[in-house]
Chains A and B, each alone.
Chain A
């Protein structure tokens, strides 16, 4: 491909000082070794607005040049001291040789201080000790040097499934780990894109926004108090659900597989901030309640504990669904109370030496 320069140029450009008027390369360092399933990485490959190849090749106008260091599809796969060692980029960033870089974290951060030794999760090995470098250590090392930090998926943002009650690892989201008021050296808060997994375009869109911001083309990314992009997470699932007509008419499904509103068989849509029913999952196809899948609130800080058992009717829905048309204002108030509590994480997601998830450690 004619437009692709040799990689030598790319590398010398990115590691050395920018020569003359040359545009610097923004490095994207991706750590997928939180407590994750890699589902957010995989999901991003489904994005089309824009797609990963379009982002990598800088196809949208105004995008800065980027170099992506992403375990899922990276070309590099060599051993540490041989050729093409992938993790070397992370050591480079740690030594201050990559400027600027954006850190993407996938998976929740376990609490490594609740046990005597070993590791819950690691990414690369420490050359001194031969032991894995924990993911939390990478975050400690790289976050202060990063221009921006992005948490991808509900695990990295708020803890998610792996921070469920009774978990042994004391897992938490990045804001719990770094602090909700944390700011990057460039003044950027942690950017949270929740979802289990992320809706593909939600993430590629946020990434593009940030790249435009770094290029000086866009103002500070608008985030809400849970650090979510407001234009993506401002409305509820219910507000974008095409079954809301049934809700309004009081037509509720009592069995899965029928077209009516699912609120009596487990849908949490009315109190959940997510755009999936409106946006669709991929190219407008798929979704959740719009296609018969109860909303289990996978984008929320209170996920999953505050929504289980998933297949039960949400408590807040009981009153409102039996009186949906007549008592609109009452329902709205009920909803806002529920919404407030489900938009907060359970209290056991925190740093410190004590595990409070309810699990009794044997160590």
Chain B
């Protein structure tokens, strides 16, 4: 039995617990907590990441045209978002505007990425937190209730009771679990049609794509897309039923994973009719994106101006294993519009790793602390896993109106056409009351429908180009000796920016900021905790198990609702120092064939 040396127990009655590694996420994340079992609450939380690779370090001096190939490797589930973002930054730096068709193809690829990634994460990773096995082991009372609760939308999805839905989510055995795995495959086929292969694309280039645009290409995509549209007509009501049930079965569950509404969305899916990739026009074409950028604070839209968003980004240190770069050379003092650029902006960042022991009172993570400066405060924005921020920002701006999707100012309406066995269907995502675990999850499902609806529009636009004979997908460019560029998109999990500086025709500085550095960020130099820390710190414990059999399912649900994208870890120390017998028999993949 591995005994964990208990940390010197305080007299505050708190139990130290940490999870390591957290499964069913991507990447490396540790959650260390202090739990108050008497009050059934998490008192303190520290998030930590234990993997450092150093992209910004080894990209220096390389050919700028290699950037999208390299940065794709940052992430194994959303690498294509990086490749795309890098291509956007390169387009700006080289002054090239790809042919419209090239942009529609990228949009179709990225839409398929959303469809794939949200689907596999929601059903095969996060869904397991809500499956029958898990609920039986953590809240048997809730399962009993689920057996007795009829699913309100049984007619749409075919599961009679909530417990039937939960059973269908059981790993491998569950029917819906297995179906989702299959869906994750044909959506990746859709992706590969447009971007070559998954997850690191082969056909993406600055200036456009190498994909050969034929009628067959789009027909192959559309046939699969319509199957997905049909699938979503079952999935949206299924998850509505499941998540609504948790509010009902566990009053107060809205507090799990809840934090202040501090959401960031950098916008995604460009409209080639407007996007020319110039910095000068970025505010305008940013507002024409098919997912509207925005910063939402306490339910209000602070800005949807990409230029302002860009200038507000700050990278703070405080609890991370790096030397500060204060006083080091500033690469970009002013943006192309003449606005001053802060020394703590990614364009000016220097990454200087300083490996050291982990110390929760001082430095404890390889993740930095990105913040957004609103002129007064350094806000610890989160993305809520991506979809909730995207829908919220798009809904409030009210700019998207393409028939299949309409943003109303307070909601997003998604219209799905008739499919093989189901009639035309409309879903409306309404701005929720809370930024919490269940609403993050719900938004993920709705955004899958959103991505499918948007893809229908892109496919029509692309086919129109092909039919008109405009089949060119790539535009020539020259790499300038000196230039800067920035790219903004929404990775699956939320905000993604790439900032590049070119000198002597080589990369002088390159800093990618994916969503997880925002969400998994740590206490910054002002002492402000990062979003996971903050959200978990507020999480009440509903689990019925005693500390000895404690799984921390509510904490895991809070963390996973953000769709973490780091390799991970959490450990548990019992404050009283007793070494526990393992009473509980593990299940899942480990025992499937035993």
> A residues touching B (Cβ–Cβ < 8 Å)?
1, 4-11, 13-14, 25, 32-33, 35-43, 45-46, 48, 51-53, 56-58, 65-89, 91, 107, 115-125, 127-128, 130-132, 160-162, 164-169, 171, 196-197, 255-259, 262, 276, 281-283, 285-289, 291-296, 298, 304, 308-312, 357, 359, 362-363
Contact = CB atoms under 8 A, between A and B. Distances in A.
By CB atoms of chain A within 10 A, which of B184, B547, B572, B592 has the most? B592
A82 B51 contact: no
Most buried by B among A13, A36, A130: A130
A80 B18 contact: yes
Given A8-B585, A33-B51, A283-B185, A293 B196 contact: yes
A51 B180 CA distance: 13
Nearest to B172: A53
B552 interface: yes
B146 to A, nearest CB: 19
Given A67-B593, A257-B209, A259-B212, A40 B200 contact: no
Interface string B223-253: 0000000000000000000000000000000
Contacts of B11: none
A287 B551 contact: no
Given A75-B171, A283-B185, A294-B202, A288 B53 contact: no
Interface of B: 2-5, 7, 17-24, 26-28, 30, 50-54, 57-58, 60-63, 65-66, 69-70, 73-77, 79, 102, 120, 124-125, 128, 133-134, 137, 171-173, 178, 181, 184-185, 188-189, 191-193, 196-205, 207-213, 220, 321, 323, 352-358, 471-474, 476, 545, 547-552, 556, 567-574, 579-580, 582-594
Contacts of A295: 202
Nearest to B62: A308
Given A82-B549, A130-B5, A281-B197, 10 more contacts: A42-B199, A46-B188, A79-B17, A118-B357, A162-B53, A164-B70, A288-B202, A291-B212, A292-B202, A310-B65
Given A7-B586, A66-B593, A80-B571, A293 B201 contact: yes
For the complex of A and B, 8 pairs with smallest distance between CB atoms: A75-B588, A10-B594, A293-B202, A39-B76, A286-B192, A79-B572, A118-B355, A10-B591
Contact of A74 (B24, B30, B54, B585): B24
B198 A46 contact: yes
Given A81-B580, A122-B50, A293-B203, A257 B17 contact: no
A118 B550 contact: no
A285 B210 CA distance: 16
A298 B585 CA distance: 41
B211 to A, nearest CB: 5
A79 B552 contact: yes
B198 A43 contact: yes
A86 to B, nearest CB: 5
Given A42-B76, A71-B23, A81 B354 contact: no
A255 B572 contact: no
Q: Which of the listed residues B2, B124, B353, B356 has the most CB atoms from chain A within 10 Å of its own CB?
A: B2
Nearest to A120: B52
Nearest to A8: B585
Given A37-B75, A74-B24, A281-B197, A292 B210 contact: yes
16 contacts: A68-B590, A71-B567, A73-B589, A75-B128, A84-B584, A116-B355, A117-B357, A119-B355, A125-B30, A131-B357, A165-B58, A169-B53, A282-B192, A287-B192, A309-B65, A363-B354
A11 B212 contact: no
Contacts of A291: 192, 196, 202-203, 210-212
A120 B49 CA distance: 10
Looking at A46, A68, A362, the one whose CB has the most chain B CB atoms below 10 A away is A46
B567 A38 contact: yes
A130 B76 contact: no
B589 A39 contact: no
A363 B357 CA distance: 13
B210 A359 contact: no
Contact of B181 (A53, A68, A257): A53
Contact of A7 (B63, B582, B585): B585
Contacts of A84: 551, 584, 586-587
Q: Is the interface of B mostly helix, strand, loop or mixed?
A: loop
Given A65-B594, A131-B357, A310-B66, A257 B587 contact: no
Nearest to A40: B76
A3 B137 CA distance: 21
Nearest to B555: A79
Contacts of A80: 2, 4, 18-20, 570-573
A197 to B, nearest CB: 6
A41 to B, nearest CB: 7
B57 A196 contact: no
B189 A285 contact: yes
Contacts of B65: 309-311
Nearest to A155: B73
Contacts of A166: 57-58, 60-61
A168 B353 contact: yes
A11 B583 CA distance: 12
A81 to B, nearest CB: 5
Contact of A283 (B189, B354, B472): B189
Nearest to A169: B54
A123 B567 CA distance: 8
A65 to B, nearest CB: 5
A56 B207 contact: no
Contacts of B594: 5, 7, 9-11, 13-14, 25, 65, 67
Contact of A292 (B79, B211, B472, B567): B211
A76 B585 CA distance: 10
Nearest to B547: A82
A81 B586 contact: no
Nearest to B6: A81
